[in-house]
Amino acid sequence: MSGARNTQFFDLGTSTLRELNSTLQKEGAEGAWEIHNPAGRHSLAVGLTNPVSVTIDGHAGYYAAGMNQRANVVINGNAGQGVAENMMSGSVHVKGNASSSAGATAHGGLLVIDGDAGARCGISMKGADIIVRGSVGHMSAFMAQSGNLVVCGDAGEALGDSLYETRIFVRGTVKGLGADCEEKDMTPEDLQILTGLLSKGGITDIKADEFRRYGSARKLYHFRVDNASEY
């Protein structure tokens, strides 16, 4: 059924998850959708390739908005493991906390988490922008290849372990850096990029110069026997 501003509603209390995803994935799907009674189900709004706007009104389980392309997804609650996993484009906004592996392997798009994110946030990310208003758990940005991870709170152990070219910005404290990750000087270009990211994430109460920047020391790009203990 449709409501104000042509919003279409989908009630998972009376319809199945398969019906929801099939409807949103259907060629030519458009407009705004509200998903009611998600009840923490897994794989909500996955594989979307249409430029639709989807609001999940409640908590989501594992892999919500995974493999997203072009859609804008808002979760009015918490998200389980792997939210926005393998996202290609579009945006995902979690209004609560996210579990582990948020934005894993994401190639593009924007992931915003208003609360905290668990371990391995941004693991193996490949070009996405991830903005976390709270803190992130251990091994965040592990093997992250490109893109940006912005953490407005603190970061856990082994941040950026085996990092490639992803930029990491942290406003709070870092419990420990992973192998081949080091603090970098914040350049004017970094400040410009970070200012733009904060604006994209709707963050207006925090300034770019409050952050520190971390990146790869580039010692693990090629195997050297002298670095064997680091692998």
Domains defined along the chain, listed by start:
40-206 (2.160.20.60)
Instruction: Output the six-digit token pair for 198.
Output: 């904060």
pLDDT at 220: 74
Q: Which residues pair with 11 in a beta bridge?
A: 36
pLDDT at 83: 98
pLDDT at 90: 98
pLDDT at 4: 43
pLDDT at 2: 40
pLDDT at 219: 82
| Class of residue 221 by CB neighbours under 10 A (exposed 0-12, middle 13-18, buried 19+) | exposed
pLDDT per residue rounded down to tens, the chain (231 residues): 344 458 999 999 999 999 999 999 999 899 999 999 999 999 999 999 999 999 999 999 999 999 999 999 999 999 999 999 999 999 999 999 999 999 999 999 999 999 999 999 999 999 999 999 999 999 999 999 999 999 999 999 999 999 999 999 999 999 999 999 999 999 999 999 999 999 999 999 999 999 999 999 988 766 666 666 665
Backbone angles phi, psi at 23, to 5 degrees: -65, -45
Strands in the chain per DSSP E: 8-11, 32-36, 53-56, 72-75, 91-94, 110-113, 126-132, 146-151, 167-170, 181-184, 212-216
Q: What share of the chain is helix, strand, coil (3-state, %, to 5)?
A: 15, 25, 60
| Class of residue 188 by CB neighbours under 10 A (exposed 0-12, middle 13-18, buried 19+) | exposed
pLDDT at 86: 98
CA nearest to 110, candidates 69, 77, 76: 69
> pTM, whole model, 2 decimals?
0.93
pLDDT at 3: 44
